[in-house]
Chains A and B, each alone.
Chain A
Amino acid sequence: MSISEEDRVALTGLVEKIIKELNQYLEDRELTEFDIIGVESTTNRSPVLYIQTSLGLESWCVKHVYNYCYAELIRDFLTNPKRRFSRLSNLNYKRIISLLNPTLLINPDVTSLWNKRREMTSQQFHDWFSEMHFTKLVLTRKPKCNEAYSYRRWILSNILAKDDVLSEEFLNDVIAEELRVCNKAADKCMNNYHSWDHRAFLIDLSWRYRFSFDSTMLYFKEYKFIRHWTSTHVSDYSCFHYRQICVRILFLIEERWPVFEKMIDVNLRDNFQKILSDHMTSDDPVATPSKISKKTMDDDDLTALVLGYPAGNCKCYATWKATLRKLELLFYELISNEDLLKYYPNHQTIWYQRRFVVNNILNAMYNYLSVENKYNGTIKQLPLSPLDIERKNNCTKCADADLTEHHNNVKKQKEDWFWNCPLYKVLIRHELALIKDRRKEDSKYAEAHENYLKFFEGLFLNFNP
Chain B
Amino acid sequence: MVKIYGLGVLYKGVNSATILKSAYNLQSFSIFQRGSVQEFMGFVSKTIVERTQPASRQSVKEGEYMLQVYVRADNLAGVLISDHEYPNRVAHTLITKILDEFTAAVPASQWPTATEDRTDFHLLPEYLTRYQNPREADALTKIQNDLDETKIILHDTIKAVLERGEKLDDVVAKTESLSTQSKLFYKTARKTNSCCNF
Which A residues contact B (CB, under 8 angstroms)? Answer: 33, 35, 37-40, 49, 51-52, 54, 56, 59, 140-141, 144, 187-188, 190, 228, 231-236, 339, 342-344, 347
Q: How far is the CA of A140 from the CA of B140 in the complex (A)?
A: 36
- CA–CA, A35 to B187, complex, Å? 17
Q: Which residue of A lies closest to B185 (CB)?
A: A38
A40-B184, A188-B28, A343-B135 are known contacts; what are 18 more A-B pairs with Cβ within 8 Å?
A35-B31, A35-B32, A39-B181, A39-B184, A54-B30, A54-B31, A140-B30, A144-B198, A187-B27, A187-B28, A228-B133, A231-B136, A232-B2, A233-B2, A234-B85, A343-B134, A343-B140, A344-B87
B195 contacts the other chain (CB 8 A): no
| Cross-chain contact A38 with B2 (CB below 8 angstroms) | no
* Per-residue contact bits, chain B 117-160, to A (CB 8 Å; 1 contact, 0 not): 00000000000000011111000100000000000000000000
Residues of A within 8 A of B132 (CB): 232
Are B135 and A339 touching (Cβ within 8 A)?
Answer: yes
Mask for B13-53, Cβ within 8 A of A = 1, else 0?
00000000000000110111100000000000000000000
User: In the complex where A40-B184, A49-B32, A141-B30 touch, is A234 in contact with B198 (Cβ < 8 A)?
Assistant: no
What's the Cα separation between A54 and B33 when bound, in Å? 11
Contact of A38 among B1, B85, B133, B184 (CB under 8 A): B184
Q: Are B188 and A235 in contact (CB under 8 A)?
A: no
B134 neighbours in A (Cβ, 8 Å):
343
Instruction: For B32, list chain A residues within 8 Å (CB).
Output: 35, 37, 49, 51, 54, 56
Which residue of A is nearest B84, CB measured? A235
Q: For B31, give the chain A residue with the smallest CB separation.
A: A54
CB nearest to A144 among chain B residues? B198
Task: Report the nearest B residue to A59, measured CB to CB.
Answer: B188
**Interface pairs A-B: 8 shortest CB-CB:** A35-B30, A38-B188, A232-B2, A54-B31, A190-B1, A37-B32, A56-B32, A38-B184
Q: List 19 A-B contacts (CB under 8 A).
A: A35-B30, A35-B32, A37-B32, A37-B33, A38-B185, A38-B187, A54-B30, A54-B32, A56-B30, A141-B30, A144-B198, A190-B1, A232-B2, A232-B3, A232-B133, A234-B2, A235-B1, A343-B135, A344-B87
Which residues from chain B contact A233 at a C-beta distance below 8 Å? 1-2
- Chain A minimum-CB-distance residue to B33: A35
A140 (CB) vs chain B CBs: closest residue:
B30
Binding site for A on B (CB under 8 A): 1-3, 27-28, 30-33, 85, 87, 132-136, 140, 181, 184-185, 187-188, 198
CA–CA, A307 and B78, complex, Å: 56
For B27, list chain A residues within 8 Å (CB): 187
Bound-state Cα–Cα, A419 to B27, Å = 53
Measured CA separation A33–B181 after assembly (Å): 20
Taking the nearest CB of chain B, how far is it from the CB of A421, in angstroms?
34
Interface centre among B2, B133, B140 (most CB of A within 10 A): B2
Shortest Cβ distance from B146 into chain A, in angstroms?
Answer: 15
| Chain B residues, CB < 8 A from A39 | 181, 184
Q: A35-B33, A37-B32, A54-B30 are in contact. Are A342 and B184 (CB under 8 A)?
A: no
Q: How far is the CA of A235 from the CA of B84 in the complex (A)?
A: 11
| Residue of B whose beta carbon sits closest to that of A186 | B1
In the complex, A311 Cα to B184 Cα: how many Å? 72
Closest to A141 in B: B30
Q: How far is the CA of A160 from the CA of B133 in the complex (A)?
A: 38
Q: Which residues of chain B are near A52, meaning CB under 8 Å? A: 31
| Smallest CB separation, A147 vs chain B (Å) | 14
In the complex, residue of chain A having the shortest beta-carbon distance to the beta carbon of B64 = A190
User: Complex: how many Å from CA A397 to CA B30?
Assistant: 66
Contact residues in A for B181 (Cβ distance below 8 Å):
39
Q: Which chain B residue has the least Cβ–Cβ distance from A49?
A: B32
Q: How far is the CA of A98 from the CA of B87 in the complex (A)?
A: 48
* Distance to closest chain A CB from B97 (angstroms): 19
Question: Nearest Cβ in chain A — how far from B185, in angstroms?
Answer: 6
Assembled-state Cα–Cα distance A371/B117 (Å): 71
Residues of A within 8 A of B187 (CB): 38
Contact between chains at B30 and A235 (CB < 8 Å)? no
Residues from chain A with a CB closer than 8 A to the CB of B198 are 144
- Specify which of B32, B134, B140 lies most central, judged by the most chain A CB atoms within 10 Å of its CB: B32
Contacts of B185 in A (CB 8 A): 38
Given A39-B184, A343-B135; A232-B30 close (CB under 8 Å) = no
The CA of A37 and the CA of B182, in the complex, are separated in Å by: 11
How far, in angstroms, from A342 to B140 measured CA to CA in the complex?
Answer: 9
Distance in Å: Cβ of A109 to nearest Cβ of chain B: 11
Contact indicator A231/B135 (Cβ below 8 Å): yes
Chain B residues with CB under 8 A of A339: 135
A232 neighbours in B (Cβ, 8 Å): 1-3, 132-133
Residues of A contacting B133 in the complex (Cβ-Cβ under 8 angstroms) = 228, 231-232
Closest B-chain residue to A188, C-beta based?
A: B28
Q: Which residues of B have CB within 8 Å of A140?
A: 30
Whether A235 pairs with B85 at a CB distance below 8 angstroms is yes
Residues of B within 8 A of A347 (CB): 85
Q: Residue on B with the closest CB to A38?
A: B188
> Which of chain A's residues have a CB closer than 8 A to the CB of B85?
234-235, 344, 347
Closest partner residue, chain B, to A347 (CB atom): B85
Q: Which residues of B contact A40 (CB under 8 A)?
A: 184
Most buried by B among A37, A52, A234, A347: A37
